Amino acid sequence: MKRALITGITGQDGSYLTEFLLGKGYEVHGVLRRSSSTNIDRLRHVYTSPQNTAGRLKLHYGDLNDSSSLDKILDQSRPDEVYNLAAQSHVRVSFEQPIYTVDVDALGTLRLLEAVRRQNPTIRFYQASSSEMYGKVRETPQDENTPFAPRSPYGCAKAYSYWQVVNYRESYGLFACNGILFNHESPRRGENFVTRKITRAATRIKLGLQDKLFLGNLDAKRDWGFAGDYVEAMWRMLQQPEAEDFVVATGECYSVKDFLDATFERLDLDWKSHVEIDPWYLRPAEVDLLLGNAAKAREKLGWEPRTGFAELVGMMVDHDLELAREEKAVQDFRAEGADEGPS
Ligand code: NAP
Ligand code: F7E
């Protein structure tokens, strides 16, 4: 049985990758950060799913900022493959916490690469690189040969990690790959990324739970795919005869306004009556347009996206509408109880 170690297992991609690898028969180990309230919501269902036969999912407390925990976890889990998905992944937050972001997203990768090199250099290593490295883009669409021009502490940290992965591959012969993934979303997306912020708010507006949605730059354009499709590309990269870097993208580009149109239209609403611009959500420097060319992944990995833009929006809206309905039902129940008074 193959063993995989996933950092960032509690995040959006970590949860989809866990399901995918369990489905392939792997034993899956994950790094869990200690917090005062449990943070395994995206994984809870996996514990009881048929995929988790014989308890093949195991979590270990650790942190990318703590080398000793990484050494210990590698020693305990003895993985064949390591997927480094852990990061402070929010671009605007990286302007508020640049040093912390670089510590986790840049030095954290180096700590893990060093731990792998020392413990077992035959481990196959996947690095969650990002289209954010293209920043102020030098060409469109972007592919594996497009130069980087990052525009945020997050983008700079990811570019550092990218080059360390290349460096460890070339210097020590590590089987280490960068997956340069363009934006990918899902019903499990964090609620402060723009797509999920929109689907959460629009569905709550539909049910009368809120009226306004405050956003920043509506003209930014992104290549949005579905996270569930993208984790398969990560795995495929590590099954290749040689370690290489790959762009993973849909090749289609939409603006934040387009995402608003698609979401609100699905709910028979007009976003212009509800959306207001709040400069708080603007960034000191913006990445205006990202559009990926995933031809190499298509050719060499046999990978292509299965979920289109409309389907992605639909899946997120349907999920969040259900959440809003549950919230409304609780609110109505409480209101009824209050009318009746204490029994
Ligand atoms: P996410 O939902 O924000 O998940 C991030 C994960 O990293 C969480 O499990 C988080 O743990 C963990 N983490 C944060 N700091 C850590 C630390 N110091 N030590 C250990 N774990 C830590 O991100 P995602 O969307 O799944 O993205 C996965 C990776 O791909 C990230 O590296 C991201 O930067 C990169 N990426 C994402 C996209 C995208 O569009 N989603 C595109 C390109 C690249 P907690 O749950 O405890 O916070
Ligand atoms: O912003 C604009 C914002 O935060 C998308 C991360 O997964 O993908 C993600 O980074 C666009 C930006 O994602 C709001 O200015 C407008 O232009 O959803 P986002 P991101 O910055 O593209 C890359 C590839 C990663 O690697 C990252 O980890 O939407 N925007 N108004 C807004 N964005 C947010 N968050 N909130 C707003 O209110």
How far away, in angstroms, is 193 Cα from ligand 2 center? 5
- Check if 132 has its Cβ closer than 6 Å to any atom of ligand 2: yes
Residue ranges of the chain with per-residue pLDDT less than 70: 53, 338-343
Residue 82 lies in a domain: yes
The reply to whether 132 belongs to the active site is: yes
List, as one string, the DSSP characters of 187-239. TTS-TTSHHHHHHHHHHHHHTTS---EEES-S--EE--EEHHHHHHHHHHHHT
How far away, in angstroms, is 176 Cα from ligand 1 center? 19
Residue 88 near residue 153, CB atoms below 8 Å: no
**pLDDT given at position 343:** 53
Residue 299 lies in a domain: no
The reply to whether 186 belongs to the active site is: no
Are 138 and 262 found together in one domain?
A: no
Residue from 12, 91, 133 whose mutation best tests the ligand 2 pocket (most atoms within 8 A of CB): 91
Say if pTM beats, i.e. exceeds, 0.95: yes
Are 46 and 72 found together in one domain?
A: yes
**pLDDT given at position 194:** 99
Residue 296 lies in a domain: no
Residue 25 lies in a domain: yes
**pLDDT given at position 50:** 75
- For ligand 2, atom 20: residue with the closest CA: 91
The reply to whether 68 belongs to the active site is: no
Q: What is the CATH number for 319? A: 3.90.25.10
Are 76 and 10 found together in one domain?
A: yes
Are 103 and 198 found together in one domain?
A: no
How far away, in angstroms, is 92 Cα from ligand 1 center? 14
Domain with 126 in it = 3-186+224-248
Residue 163: HSE in the Cβ half-sphere, 13 Å Cα cutoff: 10
Are 180 and 208 found together in one domain?
A: no
Nearest ligand 2 atom, CA 89: 28
Q: Of 184, 199, 194, 238, which is closest to residue 216 (Cα–Cα)?
A: 194
**pLDDT given at position 160:** 99
Are 242 and 262 found together in one domain?
A: no
Residue 271 lies in a domain: yes
- For ligand 1, atom 22: residue with the closest CA: 86
Q: Out of 19, 27, 81, 132, pick the active-site residue.
A: 132
Cα–Cα distance for residue pair 140/253, rounded to 1 Å: 11
Q: Which long-range contacts (CB under 8 A, 24 or more apart) does 228-233 make?
A: 228/16, 228/186, 228/307, 229/184, 229/305, 229/306, 229/307, 230/13, 230/16, 230/181, 230/184, 230/305, 231/13, 231/16, 231/17, 231/20, 232/20, 232/303, 233/179, 233/181, 233/297, 233/301, 233/303
Are 239 and 122 found together in one domain?
A: yes
pLDDT tens-digit series, residues 302-318: 999 999 999 999 999 99
**pLDDT given at position 341:** 58
**pLDDT given at position 284:** 98
